[in-house]
Chains A and B, each alone.
Chain A
Amino acid sequence: MNFEAIKAIYFFEMARTRRTLLQSVVSPVISTSLYFIVFGAAVGSRIQEIEGVSYGAFITPGLIMLTLLTQCIGNGSFGIYFPKFTGTIYELLSSPVSMTEIVLGYVGAAATKGMMIGLIILGTASLFVDLSIAHPFVMLLFFVLTAVTFSLFGFIIGIWAKDFEQLNLIPMLVIPPLVFLGGSFYSIDMLPPFWQAVSHFNPVLYLISGFRWSFFEIADVNPVISLTIIIAFLAVLMGLLTWIFRTGYRLRN
């Protein structure tokens, strides 16, 4: 293992984060506050409580997940796409680093940044609503697993993407619908049976449900199933990555 290289990549990426600190921190705080004002105050005043939890608190885990997914995919994909775009990737390719080390550096940094912003959202949310976390360790487990899995997902998108449009396609087009229809803002019990059934094909539902269970012990699906789903997704991504490494797909001519 070339630990110096992992360290170098990780801190190089984190340094870029520091340069854009204002933009990376302020914008999620503002958008979260807006969600709370619109959904928490305006909509929430009519919904009151879901299964004994105030509406504002109920949507918090979903909001954190929305941010975590978007941030991790964004950072993970941009981190590796950018050197491809500028040409500085020549350095990675001509260095004594294995693909595993490259992934650890980039995905580690993307996940770290995503989690930092996730925690900021949690902090912002606690200014608006009373939050209690019933199972802090389970919460952390979901939090970290999701961050790592989706940073890895982003990394693969970054390798696959040939231009900025492809780079933004999945984060912009796919993730928000999945999150909004994944029960971020409601319990799927509130949907007609048909849409409840459809929702069960949405992987993000399982994430949000499991994550919410760790806060309030209420869930749309069994948290063990949630955990299984995310671990399965992680395994699929690792398989895909192994194939990419073996073939040099879109990295080496």
Chain B
Amino acid sequence: MAPIVSVSNLVKTYASGFQALKDVSLDIEEGEILALLGPNGAGKTTLISIICGIVNPSGGTVLVGGHDVVKDFRATRSMIGLVPQELTTDQFETVWNTVSFSRGLHGKKANPAHIEKVLKDLSLYDKKDNMLRELSGGMKRRVLIAKALSHEPRVLFLDEPTAGVDVNLRKDMWQVVEKLRETGVTIILTTHYIEEAEEIADRVGVINGGKILLIEEKTALMKKLGRKQLRVDLTEPLSEIPAALSAYKLTLEDGGTA
């Protein structure tokens, strides 16, 4: 089966001259959950922004559902829902209006029943008439998710969905993600934490310095990274491993402080 998202030789150089993506290629299969794992500044948001149409690519191509994201933007963007990393909201709008607005922007006829269902799934329904500025940070993030789901996307991008989210909400969110996956929606999320990738994803892509370092089935990746590493920080530097611990394979680092 053809991949739902196909990125080939993607390059992005920002106006400042900074190269944020260096020849990225990546296929995403329909229906899978893919986690993009990488440190700050790795290029995760840049990659997503190009696929969604917010940033222009400098080179390479991106196909979504077989359509080019630049030439055939109407086809690709109708398929995509995006939850951005930053909490950006129209503070003076109500939850209901802002979610309905997103549906309209995507060319879909108003469908109050669908909006109601989305808001209920995200436990936002009782807040539907509240202005966004009256919501907590976690609720605002849920509103952004509701906006992204308002037009029934086939591919959903979640850019750091768990930033500023408490344990309960995180559980709820994974439940929503699971439900979506059951309906065949492809989900791509970014994260800084390997545990999170492990918890939810089918495949994990590791990205750093604008390059995809590896992309593998979660289980295979876990085997590789399964070797446990323990690092002990010491209050006083040691010059050598104490004799009592010499049976273990230990090394001293950072001038003997770890």
With beta carbons under 8 angstroms apart, the residue of A3, A7, A95, A252 that contacts B106 is: A95
A5 is an interface residue with CB less than 8 A from chain B? yes
Contact, CB under 8 Å: A8 / B105: yes
**Distance between Cα atoms of A227 and B74 in the complex (Å):** 37
> Would B105 and A248 count as touching, CB distance under 8 A?
no
Grouping DSSP codes into helix (H, G, I), strand (E, B) and loop, the A interface class, with mixed when no group exceeds half, is helix
Contact B56 A94 (CB under 8 A): no
Complex Cα distance, B147 from A91, in Å, reads 9
Q: Please, how many angstroms separate the alpha-carbon atoms of A94 and B89 in the complex?
A: 15
- Which residue of chain A is the closest to B12 with respect to CB atoms? A253
Is there a chain B Cβ closer than 8 Å to A115's Cβ? no
CA distance A90 to B84 in the complex (A): 8
Flag whether B86 is at the interface (Cβ < 8 A): yes
Q: A2-B107, A4-B104, A252-B56 are in contact. Are A88 and B77 (CB under 8 A)?
A: no
| A interface footprint on B54-93 (CB within 8 Å = 1, 0 otherwise) | 1110000000000000000111111010101010111110
A19–B77 alpha-carbon span in the complex (Å):
31
Q: How far is the CB of A83 from chain B (nearest CB, A)?
A: 8
User: Which among A7, A94, A98, A252 has the greatest number of chain B C-beta atoms within 10 A?
Assistant: A94
Contact A96 B107 (CB under 8 A): yes
Q: Tell me if B147 and A94 are in contact (CB < 8 A).
A: no
| Across-interface contacts of A2 in B (CB, < 8 A) | 74, 107
Q: How large is the interface on B (under 10, 10 to 19, 20 to 34, 35 or more residues)?
A: 35 or more
Q: Is the CB of A12 within 8 A of B54?
A: no
Is there a chain A Cβ closer than 8 Å to B101's Cβ? Answer: yes
Q: Bin the interface of chain A by size.
A: 20 to 34
- Residues A86 and B73 in contact, CB atoms below 8 Å apart: no
A18 to chain B, nearest CB (A): 11
Q: For the complex, what is the distance from the CA of A105 to the CA of B227, rounded to whole Å? A: 57
**Are B107 and A5 within 8 A (Cβ)?**
yes
Q: How far is the CA of A4 from the CA of B78 in the complex (A)?
A: 13
- Whether A95 touches B77, Cβ cut-off 8 Å, given contacts A12-B101, A87-B88, is yes
- In whole angstroms, how far apart are the Cα atoms of A178 and B90 in the complex? 35
Known A86-B88, A88-B89, A96-B106; 11 more pairs at CB < 8 Å? A8-B103, A9-B104, A12-B97, A91-B102, A92-B105, A94-B53, A94-B77, A95-B105, A96-B73, A97-B105, A253-B15
The 3 closest A-B pairs by CB, nearest first: A8-B104, A87-B88, A95-B105
User: Which residues of A come within 8 Å of B, CB atoms?
Assistant: 2-5, 7-9, 12, 15-16, 19, 86-88, 90-98, 248, 252-253
6 A-B contacts (beta carbon < 8 Å): A88-B90, A92-B105, A94-B52, A96-B73, A96-B74, A253-B55
